[in-house]
Chain A
Amino acid sequence: MNQERLKILQLIEEGKVTASEGLELLQALEAPRESKPADGRERVFRVKVDGDKTKVNVNIPLRLVRVASKFATLGMNFIPEQARTELDNRGIDLSQFDFDELIDLIDQGLVDGKLVDVNVEDPNEGRITVEVYVE
């Protein structure tokens, strides 16, 4: 999202769009996006754990995930400096991680269907299926 904003500002700076057009673009970018497909159904992020003994069902609407992702962005401020440096050394730059972009991809249907589908056989729990998907 920040990259898109920067791009719009650059277009204004270069004189390719007028200031008022730029403002309209920025407003369109900031307008709350509805996480609903064309058929009007709410898109839902689902986590399903299905075991012989344990069953978990998590249903979170995507628009709620979008708001909740702000907590993740905020939480990055609390990562200790030492851990941040270590991640940097391994080539992981957390400041580049854009939750909005990830949710946009899911929202646009580019990341659709099953995100995680794991089947395990546990000696205590029996067969466990873990599915994470958006529908």
Chain B
Amino acid sequence: MKCMWNKRRNFLLLIRIRTTGRMRLAFPLLLPVLEETLEEAGDWMGIWVKLIPKPKSPLILADLFLQSCLELLREFRKLGSWHLIKIDTPEARVYIDLK
């Protein structure tokens, strides 16, 4: 099946946790979906922000936070396959990778 996303950019942030028992957890975050959701939220927030006269409203800070999240996410997607974090303790192993 042909992939609907651009293959040159990352599409998965994979968080894997392995504990000493047999428990293995994996949280795959689909980056294109997250990006689109943040874009939509940013658009909505932008509408509300325009209606607010106060320059230091919490909503404006939330909007800035959202924009920064979006920017960070876009940088994540540009990065290519990358091992971000690897934690190895006797109790658990945690891996955060970009694919």
Asked whether, in the complex, the Cβ of A55 is within 8 Å of the Cβ of B88, the reply is yes
- Name the residue of chain A whose CB is nearest to the CB of B78: A63
Interface residue A95 (Cβ < 8 Å from any Cβ of B): no
Interface residue B11 (Cβ < 8 Å from any Cβ of A): no
Interface residues of A in 68-109 (CB under 8 A from B): 68, 70-71, 74, 77-78
Asked whether, in the complex, the Cβ of A67 is within 8 Å of the Cβ of B90, the reply is no
Interface residue A41 (Cβ < 8 Å from any Cβ of B): no
Q: Return the CB mask of A30-66 against B: 1 if under 8 Å, else 0.
A: 0000000000000000000000011111111101100
8 Å CB contact of A53 from B68, B75, B79, B90: B90
Give the Cβ gap from A10 to chain B, nearest Cβ, in Å.
24
Write out the residue numbers on chain A whose beta carbons fall within 8 Å of the beta carbon of B72. 64, 67-68, 71
- Name the residue of chain A whose CB is nearest to the CB of B95: A57
Write out the residue numbers on chain B whose beta carbons fall within 8 Å of the beta carbon of A67. 68, 71-72, 75
Write out the residue numbers on chain B whose beta carbons fall within 8 Å of the beta carbon of A54. 87-90
Give the Cβ gap from A60 to chain B, nearest Cβ, in Å.
7
A contact residues, total (Cβ < 8 Å) = 18
CA of A66 to CA of B90 in the docked complex: distance in angstroms? 33
CA of A58 to CA of B61 in the docked complex: distance in angstroms? 29
8 Å CB contact of A58 from B84, B88, B90: B84
CA of A124 to CA of B4 in the docked complex: distance in angstroms? 51
Interface residue B44 (Cβ < 8 Å from any Cβ of A): no
Asked whether, in the complex, the Cβ of A64 is within 8 Å of the Cβ of B83, the reply is no
Which of B's residues lie within 8 Å of A, judged by CB? 61, 64-65, 68, 71-72, 75-76, 79, 82-90
Q: What are 28 sample pairs from A and B whose C-beta atoms fall under 8 A apart? A: A53-B89, A53-B90, A54-B87, A54-B88, A54-B89, A54-B90, A55-B89, A56-B86, A56-B87, A57-B83, A57-B86, A57-B87, A58-B84, A58-B85, A58-B86, A59-B82, A59-B85, A61-B79, A63-B75, A64-B75, A67-B72, A70-B71, A71-B65, A71-B68, A71-B72, A74-B64, A74-B65, A78-B61
